[in-house]
Amino acid sequence: MTRSIAVGFDGSPSATRALRVALALARDAGATTWVLHARGMLEERTAEPAIPPVVSETVTELGLDPERVRWRVENGDPCSVLLRSVAPPVEAEILVVGRRGHGHPEGLLVGSTSLQLVEHARVPVVVVPPLDE
Amino acid sequence: MSPLVLNADYGAQAHEEAGHPERPARATAALEGVADLHLGGDLVVVGPRAARREELARVHAGGYLDELGAFCYAGGGDLDPDTYATADSWSIAVQAAGAGLAVVDALAERGDGVGFVVTRPPGHHALADRAMGFCLLNNIAVAAAHLIEAGERVVIVDWDVHHGNGTQSIFWDEPRVLYVSTHQWPLYPGSGTPAEVGGPRALGRTLNLPLPPGATGDVVRRALESAAPVVESFDPTWVLVSAGFDAHRADPLADLALTSGDFAALAALAGGFAPGPGRIALFLEGGYDLAALRASTTASLSALLGESSADEAPTSGGPGAEAGPAALEQFWRTVEVLASSEEDAR
DSSP states of B28-87: HHHHHHHHTT--GGGEEEPPP-PPPHHHHTTTS-HHHHHHHHHHHHTTEEESSSS-EEET
- Does pLDDT of B333 surpass 70? yes
- Does pLDDT of A1 surpass 90? no
- Does pLDDT of B130 surpass 90? yes
Report the gap between the CA of A82 and the closest CA in chain B (Å): 12
Query: Which residues 142-171 of B have a C-beta within 8 angstroms of A?
Result: 162, 165
Half-sphere exposure of B73 (CA within 13 A, CB side): 8
Nearest CA-CA partner of A84 in A47, A120, A43: A120
- Does pLDDT of A103 surpass 60? no
pLDDT tens by residue, B232-241: 999 999 999 9
- Does pLDDT of A104 surpass 70? no
More confident residue, B62 or B311: B62
Distances (CA, A) of A86 to A40, A93, B95, B224: 20, 7, 37, 32
- Does pLDDT of B267 surpass 90? yes
Please state the rounded mean pLDDT for residues A89-103: 87
Judged by CB atoms closer than 8 Å, whether chains meet at A80 and B190 is answered as: yes
Round to whole Å and give the CA distance between B216 and B214.
Answer: 6
Long-range contacts (CB closer than 8 Å, 24 or more residues apart) made by B63-67: B63/A109, B63/B129, B64/A109, B64/A110, B64/B128, B64/B129, B64/B130, B67/A108, B67/A109, B67/A110
Active site residues of B: 125
Chain A residue numbers with beta carbons less than 8 Å from the beta carbon of B253 are: 41, 44-45
- Does pLDDT of B43 surpass 90? yes
Residue A106's pLDDT is 53
Please state the rounded mean pLDDT for residues A25-40: 96
Could you tell me which chain B residue has the CA closest to the CA of A107? B67
Round to whole Å and give the CA distance between B157 and A41.
Answer: 21
Please state the rounded mean pLDDT for residues B131-142: 97
Q: Where are the domains of chain A?
A: 4-128
When pLDDT is cut at 50, 70 and 90, the band that residue B332 belongs to is very high
Long-range contacts (CB closer than 8 Å, 24 or more residues apart) made by A1-4: A1/A29, A1/A30, A2/A26, A2/A29, A2/A31, A2/A93, A2/A94, A3/A31, A3/A32, A3/A91, A3/A93, A4/A31, A4/A32, A4/A34, A4/A90, A4/A91, A4/A92, A4/A93, A4/A94
Judged by CB atoms closer than 8 Å, whether chains meet at B81 and A38 is answered as: yes
Residue A101's pLDDT is 61
- How many folded domains does chain B comprise? 1
What is the Rg, in whole angstroms, of the alpha carbon atoms belonging to chain A? 14
Which site among B67, B73, B183, B255 would you substitute to test the A interface, given the most A Cβ atoms closer than 10 Å to its Cβ? B67
Q: What is the pTM of this model?
A: 0.95
Residue B252's pLDDT is 97
- Does pLDDT of A133 surpass 70? no
- Does pLDDT of B222 surpass 90? yes
Smallest Cβ distance to B71: which of A38, A84, A105?
Answer: A105
Smallest Cβ distance to A40: which of B64, B188, B191?
Answer: B188
Phi-psi region of A44 (alpha: psi -120 to 50; beta: other; left: phi over 0): alpha
Surface-to-core class of residue A35, CB atoms within 10 Å of its CB (0-12 exposed, 13-18 middle, 19+ buried): buried
When pLDDT is cut at 50, 70 and 90, the band that residue B309 belongs to is confident
Residue A105's pLDDT is 55
Residue B10's pLDDT is 63
Tell me the one-letter amino acid at B89: S
Residue B176's pLDDT is 98
Looking at the complex, does the CB of residue B21 fall below 8 Å from at least one CB of chain A? yes
Round to whole Å and give the CA distance between B196 and B106.
Answer: 34
Judged by CB atoms closer than 8 Å, whether chains meet at A40 and B131 is answered as: no
What is the DSSP code (8-state) at residue B126?
Answer: -
pLDDT tens by residue, B88-128: 999 999 999 999 999 999 999 999 999 999 989 999 999 99
Looking at the complex, does the CB of residue B306 fall below 8 Å from at least one CB of chain A? no
Cα A76-B163-B276 angle, rounded to 5 deg: 160
- Does pLDDT of A84 surpass 70? yes
Q: Name the percent of chain B lying above pLDDT 70.
A: 99
Chain A residue numbers with beta carbons less than 8 Å from the beta carbon of B186 are: 75
More confident residue, B84 or B47: B84
- Integer distance in angstroms from the first to the last C-alpha of chain A? 31
The region of weakest confidence among A4-18, A42-56, B122-136 is A42-56
Report the gap between the CA of A119 and the closest CA in chain B (Å): 10
Looking at the complex, does the CB of residue B81 fall below 8 Å from at least one CB of chain A? yes
Looking at the complex, does the CB of residue B191 fall below 8 Å from at least one CB of chain A? yes
Judged by CB atoms closer than 8 Å, whether chains meet at A44 and B253 is answered as: yes
Looking at the complex, does the CB of residue B76 fall below 8 Å from at least one CB of chain A? no
Could you tell me which chain B residue has the CA closest to the CA of A119? B129
Residue A107's pLDDT is 58
Residue B193's pLDDT is 97
Computed over every residue of chain B, the mean pLDDT equals 96
Smallest Cβ distance to B81: which of A42, A105, A116?
Answer: A42
Q: Name the percent of chain B lying above pLDDT 90.
A: 92
Please state the rounded mean pLDDT for residues B254-258: 98
Nearest CA-CA partner of A35 in A47, A23, A48: A23
Round to whole Å and give the CA distance between A45 and A2.
Answer: 35
When pLDDT is cut at 50, 70 and 90, the band that residue B77 belongs to is very high
Report the gap between the CA of B89 and the closest CA in chain A (Å): 14
CATH code assigned at B208? 3.40.800.20
Please state the rounded mean pLDDT for residues A104-133: 82
Nearest CA-CA partner of B199 in B235, B231, B167, B168: B168
pLDDT tens by residue, A8-19: 999 999 999 999
Round to whole Å and give the CA distance between B178 and B35.
Answer: 32
Smallest Cβ distance to A109: which of B78, B129, B188?
Answer: B129
Report the gap between the CA of B19 and the closest CA in chain A (Å): 11
Whether residue B186 has a cis bond before it, omega within 30° of 0 = yes
Specify the CATH number of the domain A4-128: 3.40.50.620
Pair B117, B302: CB distance under 8 Å: no
Residue B311's pLDDT is 87
Nearest CA-CA partner of B222 in B295, B316, B297: B316
Please state the rounded mean pLDDT for residues B234-255: 98
Taking CB atoms and an 8 Å cut-off, how many pairs form between chains A and B? 82
Please state the rounded mean pLDDT for residues B201-224: 98
User: Which phi and psi (to 5°) does residue B42 adopt?
Assistant: -85, 5
Residue A110's pLDDT is 73
ipTM of the assembly?
Answer: 0.89
Range of the domain at B30: 4-345
Round to whole Å and give the CA distance between A40 and B203.
Answer: 29
Chain A residue numbers with beta carbons less than 8 Å from the beta carbon of B164 are: none
Please state the rounded mean pLDDT for residues A90-117: 80
